[in-house]
Amino acid sequence: MTKNTYSRKGREDSFIPRRLAILFAIVIALFSILIARLAYMQIINKDFYTDKLAKASQKVITNSSVRGQIYDAKGVPLVENQVEQVATFTRSNKMTAQQMKEVAQNLLKWLTLTDVTVTPRDRADFYLADPAVYAEVVRQLPKEQRMDTAGNALDESVIYNNAVASLTEEQTTYSEEELKVVELFSQMNAAAYFETVNLVTDPLTAEQIAMIAANEAELPGISTASNWNRIVTPTSLASIIGTVTTQQAGLPKEDAEEYLAKGYSLNDRVGTAYLEKQYEEVLQGQREKKEINLDRNGNVESITTIQEGGKGNNVKLTIDLAFQDGVNAILKKYFDSELATGSARYSEGVYAVVLEPQTGAVLAMAGYSHDKKTNEVKENALGTLTNAFVPGSIVKGATITSGWENGVISGNQVLKDQPIQFAGSAPINSWFTAYGSRDITAVEALQYSSNTYMVQIALDILGQPYVPGMILNETNQLTPSMEKMRSTFGEYGLGVATGIDLPLESTGFIPTDYTLSNYLTNAFGQFDNYTPLQMAQYAATVANDGTRVSPHLVQGIYDNDEEGGLGKLVEEVSGKELNKVQISDEEMGIIQEGFYMVVNGGYGFTTGSEIRNGASVPISAKTGTAETFVTTETGQVLSAVNTNIVSYAPSSHPKIAVAVVLPNLTNLNSTTSKYITTEIINLYNSLYPMNQ
């Protein structure tokens, strides 16, 4: 061996101790870091990790409580909670699907089940609940449905879904009696760990309740409890109450995320429409909260109630059911009369809304819808805020207001009421232009319901003052002019949200495409469509000296008395001031004088004189007769009218504002809506005297 060979070997041998030293240094450093980390966790940050460990072995579950009730202004219940005894199931974290299957089979011995609605997935879940069956089904799956390309097992949820998809119809075919077991199993299987669900079965008898209790050893997780069903009493307000989900349906999919963020559970029962939805958080009771503590093996160590459950608060409405029913009776009487004569054969129905102008309290929302095919008439209070109609001349107070706001008229302006004749078109007339032209004031324009006064205002806003025989020019001022007019109308609540405490109200039909002709006819209410509620808010705004207040159905939130009924007032609900019409007090006084003269003027062309006949208090109003058309079953087109009225009473110190909508009557001279208006106001005055 040469000297160089020995020299190289010596150098290599000298590297070994150094490598070992480096390795030991690294190991020592890692152990030092580990010890430091453990010291940090166990000494410095002990509380954080102790809390984290505790939370990992705890679970908080919530159970909803009985829902609050809804009452009318006099305390008459409009919804009630019907209490019944039901079987319940509480799922433990140790219970297997096979065990639930056995519980379902045993439970069917002690109760009855008539309605069975199982899905194909329910059948599959039941079939695969047996571990041996599931293992065999999985074993027979193609390899690609069990493993990925690298040979690793797929997620269990993916394998399970593949197993479900592989089942044949024959495998999941059950007898009628077996399907009842499947139904019960499916309800149990839908429960989360430690969650208690009410099982949907036929009503339990006292004997069945006793038998379930006596056989609890065969029925782990099964008990009985009181449950409530939401019952809407059959009143004329039923359509605005709304609905509540079942426990099985739980949170609506579209709102689930929002509710979960507020602390709701997936199976909580919630309001899905109208009052039930609007006042959900008031009516929903305080949830019972329980803390489940588990040991290191996942066994339940203790259950602690950390928040007691409590019945939800109650809601009391502004509507007196007696008055509401009275308004309904008036509408039905007159509509039946119009049907009997054939005038209402093609009408959509009849509607009325009554508001308190100063507070916005809704005093009545009544209506009937008419099926033009079957001739069937049904109560439909909801139509007062969801259906829109051509308003006719009721809007003329708003049109005059737009004239003032845009500086084209001033004060009680005099204009010539004359046929409006454009080159090459038929004239626009008022009721009495056939007898010649005459000068009229703004008050008289309302009293006589002059179309041509309104058209002249609209032309001036457009920048094309009226000259007989003039040629209308399509200019770029059409859109700004329509926007100006609609903006003013919106100040009265026409074509905008009223602010009522109900979801899904219509803001009317306000077309975005329109012509110069549409703009002009809109000035006297022959284009945009409004709801009866919007029309009532318009009348209330005039009565309230130009202050628009949001209507509200709920008068207050109340707690529960000892029996769970209407208790003490917790919170009063009131309307909000939305805006002030942008005109002077003197100008609003002109509108109010015009409304008064519509009913109380002595001239022969006064449009609302029939309203004062038999009136128990002075009434101010604006009539609206919108020209429409209807088509018969044979295709014949007939002329028709929407006969609408907006009013308030008493004229000097208004207590109520009323809108009556009676569309598409073929009797073009009908005065029915005027008589309806008078009777509604007289009824309210008889129940709540307004001159005291």
Q: How many CA atoms lie within 13 A of 51 on its CB side?
A: 4
Q: Which of 477, 456, 619, 626 is nearest to 539 (CA)?
A: 619
> Using CA of residue 126, residue 131, residue 133, residue 136, what is the dihedral sign?
positive
Bond into 650 cis (ω within 30): yes
| Selected catalytic residue, list 64, 347, 369, 393 | 393
314-317 and 70-71: which strand pairing? parallel
Identify the three-state secondary structure at position 185.
helix
Q: What is the DSSP letter of 251?
A: S
Identify the three-state secondary structure at position 591.
helix
Q: Which of 195, 177, 173 is nearest to 248 (CA)?
A: 195
> Exposed (0-12), middle (13-18) or buried (19+): which is 234, by Cβ within 10 Å?
exposed
Q: What is the DSSP letter of 241?
A: H
Identify the three-state secondary structure at position 557.
strand
Entry field: residues in the chain: 692
Question: Which residues fall within 8 angstroms of residue 128, CB to CB, at 6 or more apart?
Answer: 97, 134, 137, 160, 163, 164, 167
Structure token digits, residue 621: 């109003």
| DSSP result, 261-325 | HTT--TT---B-SHHHHHTHHHHSPBPEEEEEEE-TTS-EEEEEEEE--BPPPEEEES--HHHHH
Q: Is 393 a catalytic residue?
A: yes
For residues 242 and 330, give the distance between their C-alpha atoms in angstroms, rounded to a whole number: 25
Structure token digits, residue 139: 């074993």
For residues 444 and 412, give the distance between their C-alpha atoms in angstroms, rounded to a whole number: 9
SS3 letters for 7-70?
A: HHHHHHHHHHHHHHHHHHHHHHHHHHHHHHHHHHHHHHCHHHHHHHHHHHCEEEEEECCCCCCE
Q: In the chain, what's the furthest Cα-to-Cα distance?
A: 142
- Enumerate the β-bridge partners of residue 315: 70, 557
| C-alpha distances out from residue 523 to 75, 478, 518, 526, Å | 44, 13, 9, 8
For residues 70 and 554, give the distance between their C-alpha atoms in angstroms, rounded to a whole number: 9
Catalytic positions are: 393
